[in-house]
Amino acid sequence: MDELPIGRRVAYWRSRRKLSQQVFADRLGKSKSWVDKVERGVRRLDKFSVLHEIADILQIDVQLLLGKDPERRSDALTCIDQVEVQEIRAALERYDAMTAYFDAAPQPPPLVDLGKAVNHAWLTYQYSRYGELTRSLPKLLRDAQAADAGSAGDEVRLAANLLGQVYQIASSVLRKIGECELAWLAADRATAVAQRADDPLLAGIATTRVGNALLAMGRARPALELNVNIAHRIDTSRGDPAALSVHGQLLLQGAMAAARLGDSATVDDLLIGAEEVAGQVGGDENHYWTSFGPTNVELHRAAAAVELGDGGRAVETHQRLAEPLFNALLPERRAHHLLDLSRAYAQIGDVGTAGEMLLRGDRLAPAEIRCRPLAHEVMADVLRRTRGTPHCHLAELAEQMGVGV
């Protein structure tokens, strides 16, 4: 594996920490010219004391400065580190609306621009670019909070709607990377803001984020009850595709919670209900960013089977999928399914194919495989049960994930 010059590694992490060359130089007690020469490779970094000081300022292990190309590492471009988690936490802990009650609200961005940024963030999530998303989230959270706090008149509901969406995006990506308590906090905020936005469907889909966070924290029973309760409160009588999608997605998340409880009868009931709703929607749509439709129902059927320990049923469900419809889904959905399928093959003892599913998922959406703690567990299981030497590509992916071979 090619080595990245140490100066470029310094530049990469300085940029990731949002430090200008001047600020970085000031903290080091060096000149900006010195930093520039180091980053361009004109000046060598050959003193360990300086390397350790740089690592301390950048809040990384010194081995990252001495090691491999960070672009090939899961904890570099595609994932998140604890410094960035703390930035998101700080943004979630802001109370601009309460501050604005006493003082003038922060200057909010135009709602048109904020709306474009929110749409871009949703697409970034659904294309599984989690590293890019988590690094942009703190600013997006602050902007949306400021817009919500500073809105008036006809803009109040729109600003609340946008903030509610940002909280949902934050909850979804935080859950993916294992920050479950923060995911719950963001989801809880999303439900409250959705009510102020006077949007029942936004509140309904925000409920699925709460349920997902609860499930990730091992609270399957309240996750099941919440999803099913709110599903029955969504008005689908007019046949509105958006309402049907939200209703159906609540049923699917309820099915996943029931599967975690081992309640196969409830799983089947909820999946049948979701399948009927998907038939009314027609094709696989993305109303309220749900990706809901007949194909997504089948993906959840397979995932629920895996949770119930029935890997064979999950594989059979996958084999019935229409390949063109599956390939038309967004990368996050497909890679998530391939991770579930890897677990399914491992359950039936086919660890070779389980490894192939991980590789397919990584080629499609690297962050879905490299960033998720669940994927790390599956990779460790596959390696442990592989007889002989793992395939070179699987071994390389394991190394990049930080999973021992």
In tens, the pLDDT along 96-133 reads 655 544 455 557 789 999 999 999 999 999 999 998 89
pLDDT for position 240: 96
Is residue 1 one of the residues assigned to a domain? no
Q: End of a domain among 217, 242, 268?
A: 217
CA-based nearest residue to 261, from 234, 294, 228: 228
Q: How confident is the model at residue 217 (pLDDT cuts 50, 70, 90)?
A: very high
Q: Is residue 78 part of a domain?
A: no
The answer to whether the CB of 280 falls within 8 A of the CB of 244 is yes
Does residue 243 sit in the same domain as residue 175? no
- In angstroms, the CA 209 to CA 191 distance is 9
Residues 248 and 323 in one domain: yes
Residue 42 burial class via C-beta count within 10 angstroms: exposed 0-12, middle 13-18, buried 19 and up = exposed
- Under the banding of pLDDT at 50, 70 and 90, the label for residue 55 is confident
- Can you say how many angstroms the Cα of residue 143 is from the centroid of all Cα atoms in its chain? 20
Q: Sign of dihedral through CA atoms 292, 156, 134, 177?
A: negative
> Over pLDDT 70: what percentage of the chain?
93
**Cβ burial, residue 321 (10 Å; 0-12/13-18/19+):** middle
Residue 68, pLDDT above cutoff 80:
no
CA–CA distances in Å: residue 243 to residues 205, 295, 323, 331: 10, 18, 27, 24
Q: Let me know whether 42 and 147 are in one domain.
A: no
The tally of domains found in the chain comes to 4
Q: Are 81 and 119 in contact (CB under 8 A)?
A: no
Cα separation of 172 and 381, whole Å?
25
Tell me the helices (H) and strands (E) count for the chain, helix number first. 23, 0
CA separation (Å) from 13 to 56, 58, 174, 202, 337? 12, 7, 21, 37, 32
Q: Is 12 inside any structural domain?
A: yes
Q: What is the structure's pLDDT at 3?
A: 53
Of the listed ranges 82-86, 227-231, 239-243, 291-295, the least confidently predicted one is: 82-86
- Contacts by residues 233-236 (CB-CB < 8 Å, ≥ 24 positions apart): 233/200, 233/204, 234/200, 234/201, 234/204, 235/200, 236/277, 236/280
- Going from the C-alpha of 37 to that of each of 17, 20, 282, 335, the distances in angstroms are 19, 14, 59, 41
208 and 229 assigned to the same domain:
no
**126: which residues sit within 8 A by CB, 6+ positions away?**
286, 289, 291, 330, 331, 332, 333
Please, what is the Cα angle at 124 between 118 and 126, to 5 degrees?
105
* pTM of the predicted structure, to 2 decimals: 0.82
| Domain-ending residue, one of 296, 329, 362 | 329
Least confident of 57-71, 85-99, 284-298: 57-71
First-residue to last-residue Cα distance in the chain: 17
Domain membership of residue 389 as a residue range: 337-405
From 205, 322, 320, 305, select the one nearest 262 (Cα to Cα): 305
**Cβ atoms of residues 129 and 144 within 8 Å:** no
User: What number is the average pLDDT over the span 208-214?
Assistant: 97
The tokens of 140 are what? 């997006």
On whether both 316 and 344 belong to a single domain, the answer is no
Q: Is residue 304 part of a domain?
A: yes
Tokens 């300086």 belong to 50
Same domain, 102 and 210: yes
Encoding tokens for residue 364?
């499609």
Q: Give CA–CA dist 352/169, Å, rounded.
A: 34
**Cα 188 from Cα 226, distance rounded (Å):** 12
Question: Do the Cβ atoms of 3 and 29 come closer than 8 Å?
Answer: no
Whether residue 88 is found in the same domain as residue 212? yes
DSSP state of 282: -
Q: Is the pLDDT of residue 62 over 90?
A: no
Whether residue 159 contacts residue 399, with contact meaning beta carbons closer than 8 Å, is answered with no
Domain end, chosen from 188, 217, 246, is at 217
Mean pLDDT of 64-73: 54
User: What φ, ψ does residue 163 adopt, rounded to 5°?
Assistant: -65, -40
Least reliable range by pLDDT among 102-106, 187-191, 314-318: 102-106
| Mean pLDDT score of the chain | 89
- Could you tell me if 147 and 101 lie in one domain? yes
In this predicted structure, the answer to whether residue 171 has a pLDDT above a threshold of 90 is yes
pLDDT at 238 over 80: yes
Residue 86: predicted pLDDT: 82
Q: Does residue 31 form part of some domain?
A: yes
Claim to verify: residue 211 and residue 235 sit in the same structural domain: no
User: Whose CA is closest to 69, among 1, 146, 122?
Assistant: 1
Do 95 and 195 belong to one domain?
Answer: yes
